[in-house]
């Protein structure tokens, strides 16, 4: 199957999760594309997926030319992705050209090596199965047999011209020594081929981060820049967040309960069915409590709920729930609640995302709670955290899942620390709820405010709330507080008493006023 790019140049979809969105439809058809990267960047998998998804999704026969791996090893390595390569071989949809043995045998002929025999074998295989797609992994293993850059360039041009003349779309992989210097190993490959893609596997903050970049598509356009991707054992290459951004046909008007009647009232009657809710507050304000009652409300309504904790163990969650009269074990035993508890450090944010997505697909919950997003800040960059939220939000909205994100405002999702990220995260949510400690005449109290509810009216007051052994109880509006998201002024005027940070400890996270008129109503 071939589509057209925006300029009318035919494209062939790769089927790789998110890549065709970057490539504006796929790889330019009947041309050759160079995919370069360092060790572990995903070059072989890109080539394999290009062929396999062509067979699987479009019925396009493929030829895979391997220079370094045995075909049996390749069949085994991709088994988890659900690609029955052996069956495709028997059905005339896939053929291997194993050039690894011939390279070993012909190694002594360095300086006189010729690609003619290899080209003939590829041509025969293409015609045998009527291939539309070809992958060579890795062409660098052949190019090392030539002496002189001029010879490398000439021989590479010969094989690319032969492939293009066959009318096939080809992916050639090649190694590169460094992540951000020269594009290719010999410095000429990118000039011979029409299209160049770089896969990177960069070590940052003691963790690997994979990105993909289209350097050029000759004669046509593409999205620019580096795009984060991960590799899943069942998903293959997944480019975030583009793999999940799809338009929705409708927005739900159905309301569901947060698990707290007073909070429902503050939000205009509960959350919309497809709402994404962000609840922020420093340690001890009641975020986990709210999460547990949110999950209990789902179970009481006969709905499934996924509760993902990045802060506490399953045992701690069970103990906390019991202290508020909730039986977490019974809710799980009902089959309506699925609890996943793991620390952020056990995986990358991209791997956490894939795990959550798998549970969503298999468990099919009506609600999801992530407690807390801020725990992920220990292992991610600002960009990676935002990609995580965008990708997960896209999946959740597509399935109309009511979602509660909690965050202890200790860093990047906090407006007063990094406004750009905070505004971007807030733009992805439908409801924003802020919990804070309030200092009133030397006494620490708790306050809650609903900052936004998209498509609905909501309570604009800051209300006092208390927590006891039955849960959270929201009371009357607190008077005398103003400008609480920046400096706080007594309602009667005067100078600022406190310029709060949302970081959450000590004086931080306080709405602070010494105004005697700041006593809570009632």
Nearest one of 187, 189, 185 to 172, comparing CA atoms: 189
> How many other CB atoms sit within 10 Å of the CB of residue 241?
22
Q: Please state the pTM of the whole predicted model.
A: 0.75
Q: What percent of the chain has pLDDT over 90?
A: 48
Asked if 484 and 434 touch (Cβ cutoff 8 Å), the reply is: no
In sequence order, what DSSP letters do the residues of 446-505 get, joined into one string? EEEEEEEETTS----S-EEEEEETTEEEEEEEBPSEE-TTSSBEETT--S-SB---SS-S
Nearest one of 258, 272, 247, 277 to 455, comparing CA atoms: 272
Per-residue pLDDT for 61 more than 70?
yes
Residues 265 and 178 in one domain: no
Per-residue pLDDT at 415: 40
Q: Using one digit for the tens of pLDDT, what is the confidence trace for 298-327?
A: 999 999 999 999 989 999 999 999 999 999
Per-residue pLDDT for 501 more than 60?
no
For 507, the token pair is 């004086």
Q: With respect to residue 446, please indicate whether it lies within any of the assigned structural domains.
A: yes
Nearest one of 370, 385, 380, 210 to 290, comparing CA atoms: 370
The Cα 122–Cα 127 span in angstroms is 9
Q: Using one digit for the tens of pLDDT, what is the confidence trace for 127-152?
A: 999 999 999 998 877 777 677 777 77
Domain end point (choices 239, 267, 284): 239
Q: Using one digit for the tens of pLDDT, what is the confidence trace for 100-131?
A: 765 545 544 444 456 778 889 999 999 999 99
Q: How confident is the model at residue 219 (pLDDT cuts 50, 70, 90)?
A: confident
Domain count for the chain, please give it. Answer: 2
**Does an H or E element contain 130, and which?**
none
Per-residue pLDDT at 263: 97
Per-residue pLDDT for 419 more than 60?
no
Looking up residue 429, the CATH number of its domain turns out to be 3.40.50.300
Domain hosting 324: range is 255-518
> How many other CB atoms sit within 10 Å of the CB of residue 15?
21
Residues 303 and 379 in one domain: yes
Residue 85, CA atoms < 13 Å, CB-side half-sphere: 20
Q: With respect to residue 393, please indicate whether it lies within any of the assigned structural domains.
A: yes
Q: Using one digit for the tens of pLDDT, what is the confidence trace for 226-281?
A: 888 889 888 899 988 776 777 666 778 899 999 999 999 999 999 999 999 999 88
Q: With respect to residue 248, please indicate whether it lies within any of the assigned structural domains.
A: no
Q: How confident is the model at residue 491 (pLDDT cuts 50, 70, 90)?
A: very low
Residues 138 and 195 in one domain: yes
Q: Using one digit for the tens of pLDDT, what is the confidence trace for 388-401?
A: 888 898 889 888 99
For 444, the token pair is 């620490």
The Cα 406–Cα 312 span in angstroms is 13
Residues 272 and 201 in one domain: no
Residues 12 and 45 in one domain: yes
Per-residue pLDDT for 11 more than 80?
yes
> How many other CB atoms sit within 10 Å of the CB of residue 59?
10
Residues 295 and 418 in one domain: yes
For 47, the token pair is 């080539």
Domain end point (choices 206, 239, 272): 239
Domain end point (choices 207, 239, 271): 239
- Spell out the SS3 assignment of 248-289: CCCCCCCEECCCCHHHHHHCCCCEECCCEEEEECCCCCCHHH
> How many other CB atoms sit within 10 Å of the CB of residue 250?
7
Average pLDDT, the chain: 83
Q: Specify which of 4-8, 237-241, 456-460 reaches the highest per-range mean pLDDT.
A: 456-460
Q: Residue range 458-484: average pLDDT?
A: 87
Residues 235 and 259 in one domain: no
> How many other CB atoms sit within 10 Å of the CB of residue 319?
12
């Amino acid at each position: 199957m071939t589509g057209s790019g925006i300029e009318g140049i035919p494209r062939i979809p790769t089927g790789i999760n998110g890549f065709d969105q970057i490539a504006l439809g796929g790889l330019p058809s009947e041309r050759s594309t160079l995919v370069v990267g360092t060790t572990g960047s995903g070059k072989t998998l890109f080539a394999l997926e290009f062929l396999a998804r062509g067979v699987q999704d479009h019925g396009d026969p493929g030829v895979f030319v391997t220079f370094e791996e045995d075909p049996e090893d390749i069949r085994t390595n991709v088994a988890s992705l659900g690609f029955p390569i052996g069956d495709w071989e028997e059905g005339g949809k896939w053929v291997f050209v194993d050039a690894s043995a011939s390279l070993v045998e012909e190694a002594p002929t360095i300086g006189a090596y010729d690609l003619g025999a290899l080209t003939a074998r590829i041509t025969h295989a293409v015609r045998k199965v009527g291939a539309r797609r070809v992958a060579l992994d890795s062409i660098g293993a052949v190019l090392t047999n030539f002496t002189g850059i001029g010879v490398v360039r000439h021989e590479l041009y010969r094989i690319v011209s032969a492939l293009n003349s066959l009318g096939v779309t080809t992916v050639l992989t090649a190694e590169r020594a460094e992540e951000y210097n020269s594009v290719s190993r010999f410095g000429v490959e990118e000039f011979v081929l029409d299209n160049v893609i770089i896969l990177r596997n960069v070590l940052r903050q003691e963790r690997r981060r994979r990105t993909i970049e289209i350097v050029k598509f000759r004669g046509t356009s593409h999205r620019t820049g580096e795009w984060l991707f991960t590799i899943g054992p069942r998903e293959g290459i997944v480019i975030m967040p583009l793999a999940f951004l799809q338009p929705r046909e409708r927005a739900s008007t159905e309301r569901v309960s947060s698990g707290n009647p007073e909070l429902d009232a503050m939000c205009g009657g509960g959350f919309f069915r497809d709402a994404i809710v962000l609840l922020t507050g420093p340690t001890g304000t009641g975020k986990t409590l709210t999460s547990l009652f949110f999950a209990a409300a789902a179970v009481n309504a006969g709905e499934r709920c996924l509760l993902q904790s990045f802060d506490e163990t399953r045992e701690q969650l069970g103990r906390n729930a019991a202290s508020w009269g909730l039986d977490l074990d019974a809710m799980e035993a009902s089959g309506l609640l699925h609890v996943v508890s793991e620390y952020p450090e056990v995986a990358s944010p991209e791997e956490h995302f894939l795990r959550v997505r798998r549970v969503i697909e298999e468990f099919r919950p009506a609600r999801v709670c992530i407690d807390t997003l801020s725990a992920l800040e220990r292992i991610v960059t600002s960009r990676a955290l935002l990609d995580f939220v965008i990708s997960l939000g896209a999946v959740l909205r597509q399935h109309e899942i009511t979602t509660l994100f909690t965050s202890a405002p200790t860093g990047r999702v906090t407006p007063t620390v990094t406004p750009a990220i905070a505004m971007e995260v807030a733009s992805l949510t439908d409801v924003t709820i802020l919990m804070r400690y309030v200092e009133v005449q030397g006494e620490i109290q708790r306050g809650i405010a609903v900052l936004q509810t998209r498509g609905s009216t909501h309570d604009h007051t800051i209300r006092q709330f208390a927590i006891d052994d039955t849960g959270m109880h929201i009371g009357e509006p607190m008077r005398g507080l103003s400008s609480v998201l920046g400096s706080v002024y007594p309602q009667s005027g005067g100078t600022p008493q406190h310029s709060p940070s949302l970081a959450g400890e000590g004086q931080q996270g306080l709405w602070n006023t010494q105004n005697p008129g700041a006593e809570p109503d009632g």
